[in-house]
Amino acid sequence: MSDLSVAVLGVGGVGGYIAAALAARGVPVTCVAREATVAVIRDRGLRLESAVLGNLTTHPRPVLRLDEEPDLLFVTTKATQLAGALERLPPGPLARTIVIPLLNGLEHMAALRQRLGLGGSQQVVEMFDIHGVSSAEIPKPRCTPCSITNLQTCSLPARNG
């Protein structure tokens, strides 16, 4: 079991892959999704068919609303569904959570900053596009810079408090 807790907001192709891969390695994963998706995960689990990881079924915790603050929050919704999905998070900032948005473009950052109480330039999470052609530094307070190079070996520096 891992001491790292993860939540995935948007359990489609990208979010489902991340949730299943991490849950298969013993990481406590919470899937924040719509009612129909929550019911399927609760009743049948989350099935992944992958050339890299193989075929597996995991049983992450499905919820309609995030009820515990995770160490990592992957935001993997479609950009057009982001506003509605953010309503599934608790009000106010997630002060101890590292937010990792995996959406195309940067237009969503304003909505994430506003809803999650992010702003300023105290710390930076560096984001790269899938081809490594460009990078953008996104200022985020109360976050620890982290790099996830491989879902099989995910580690974070110790929390400050």
Task: Write the CATH number for 20.
Answer: 3.40.50.720
Residue 148 has pLDDT above 90, yes or no: no
- CA 29 to chain CA centroid, Å, is 10
Looking at the domain assignment, is residue 155 inside a domain? no
The Cα 70–Cα 134 span in angstroms is: 29
Looking at the domain assignment, is residue 87 inside a domain? yes
Looking at the domain assignment, is residue 141 inside a domain? no
The Cα 42–Cα 93 span in angstroms is: 28
Looking at the domain assignment, is residue 135 inside a domain? no
Chain segment 75-118, per-residue pLDDT in tens: 899 888 888 999 999 887 777 788 888 877 667 777 777 777 66
The number of distinct structural domains making up the chain is 1
Q: What is the 3-state secondary structure (H, E, C) of 113-156?
A: HHHHCCCCCCCEEEEECCCCCCEEEEECCCCCCCCCCCCCCCCC
Residue 24 has pLDDT above 90, yes or no: yes
The Cα 116–Cα 89 span in angstroms is: 9
Looking at the domain assignment, is residue 126 inside a domain? no
Looking at the domain assignment, is residue 115 inside a domain? yes
Looking at the domain assignment, is residue 109 inside a domain? yes
Taking the CB of residue 62, how many other CB atoms lie within 10 A of it? Answer: 22
pLDDT band at residue 119 using 50, 70 and 90 as cut-offs: low
Looking at the domain assignment, is residue 28 inside a domain? yes
Q: What is the span of the domain harbouring residue 23?
A: 6-119
